[in-house]
Amino acid sequence: MNFRRTSRLSVIVSLVSLFFVALVCYAAYNHQGDSDSAVFRTAYPNAVGTKLDSCTTCHSGGSYVSGGKTTTLGSCQWCHYVTNYGADLSDQTLLKTLNSYGIAYKDAGRNASALQTISGLDSDADGFANGAEIAALTFPGDAKDNPNSVPAPSRVLSLKELEEMPLHTQFLLMNASKSDDNYTQYGGVALENLIKTLMLDSATGITVYSPDGFATYHPFNPVANPNSYHVFGTYPPGVFYYDTQADMATNPLTGWTTYTSPSAAGRINGSPIFNPEGLKMLLAFERDSEYLAPGVLNAQNKLDGEGPFRVVPPQKNPGPPDQRSTAANATDPATWVWPYNPSADHNAGFSSRTVTMIKVEPLPVGTTDINTLEAGWPYVDEKKVVVYGSIDPYPMNKLNKGLDALIDMIMAKPGAAFKVPSSKIALVNKVEAIKKQVAAGAYSAALEKLKEDVLKKTDGYLSGAVDANDWVKDITVQQELCSQIQKIWIMLVLVGA
Whether residue 187 lies inside any domain: the answer is yes
**60 lies in the same domain as 129:** yes
The predicted structure's pLDDT at residue 55:
79
**180 lies in the same domain as 117:** no
Whether residue 12 lies inside any domain: the answer is no
In degrees, rounded to 5, the angle at the alpha carbon of residue 149 between the alpha carbons of residues 147 and 150 is 110
**352 lies in the same domain as 401:** no
Whether residue 62 lies inside any domain: the answer is yes
The predicted structure's pLDDT at residue 25:
29
The predicted structure's pLDDT at residue 301:
67
Whether residue 202 lies inside any domain: the answer is yes
| Cα–Cα nearest to 319, from 258, 236, 219 | 236
The predicted structure's pLDDT at residue 393:
84
**pTM (predicted TM-score):** 0.80
**161 lies in the same domain as 64:** no
**91 lies in the same domain as 122:** yes
Whether residue 432 lies inside any domain: the answer is yes
The predicted structure's pLDDT at residue 442:
97
Show which of 361, 389, 417 is a domain's final residue: 389
Note down pLDDT in tens along the chain; length 497 residues: 233 322 322 222 222 222 222 222 233 345 545 788 889 999 999 988 777 887 789 998 888 877 666 666 667 667 878 888 678 888 888 889 999 999 999 999 999 999 999 999 999 999 999 999 999 988 999 888 899 988 899 999 999 999 999 999 999 999 999 999 999 999 999 999 999 999 999 999 998 988 876 778 899 998 767 778 999 999 999 999 999 999 999 999 999 999 999 999 999 999 999 888 899 999 999 999 999 999 988 877 678 899 999 999 999 999 999 999 999 999 999 999 999 999 999 999 999 999 999 999 999 988 988 766 545 788 999 999 999 999 998 888 899 999 999 999 999 999 999 999 899 999 999 999 999 999 999 999 999 999 999 999 999 888 878 888 999 999 899 999 999 999 999 999 999 87
**89 lies in the same domain as 176:** no
Quote the CA–CA distance of 473 and 475 in Å, as a whole number: 6
Whether residue 28 lies inside any domain: the answer is no
Whether residue 118 lies inside any domain: the answer is yes
The predicted structure's pLDDT at residue 172:
97
**422 lies in the same domain as 370:** no
Q: What 3-state class would DSSP assign to 240?
A: strand
The per-type count for the chain, helices as H runs and strands as E runs, is 13, 19
**381 lies in the same domain as 400:** no
- Where in the sequence is the domain holding 55, given as residue range(s)? 36-150
Radius of gyration of the chain (CA): 25
End-to-end Cα separation, the chain, in angstroms: 30
Environment class of 62 (CB within 10 Å of its CB; exposed 0-12, middle 13-18, buried 19+): middle
Task: Residue count of the chain, please give it.
Answer: 497
**171 lies in the same domain as 98:** no
Strand 214-219 relative to strand 69-73, pairing: antiparallel
**328 lies in the same domain as 183:** yes
Whether residue 27 lies inside any domain: the answer is no
For the chain, the farthest-separated pair of C-alpha atoms sits apart, in whole angstroms, at: 82
Show which of 150, 184, 206 is a domain's final residue: 150
**139 lies in the same domain as 162:** no
**123 lies in the same domain as 215:** no
Domain count, the chain: 3
Q: Where are the alpha helices (DSSP H) in 260-388?
A: 377-382
Show which of 357, 373, 389 is a domain's final residue: 389
Environment class of 185 (CB within 10 Å of its CB; exposed 0-12, middle 13-18, buried 19+): middle
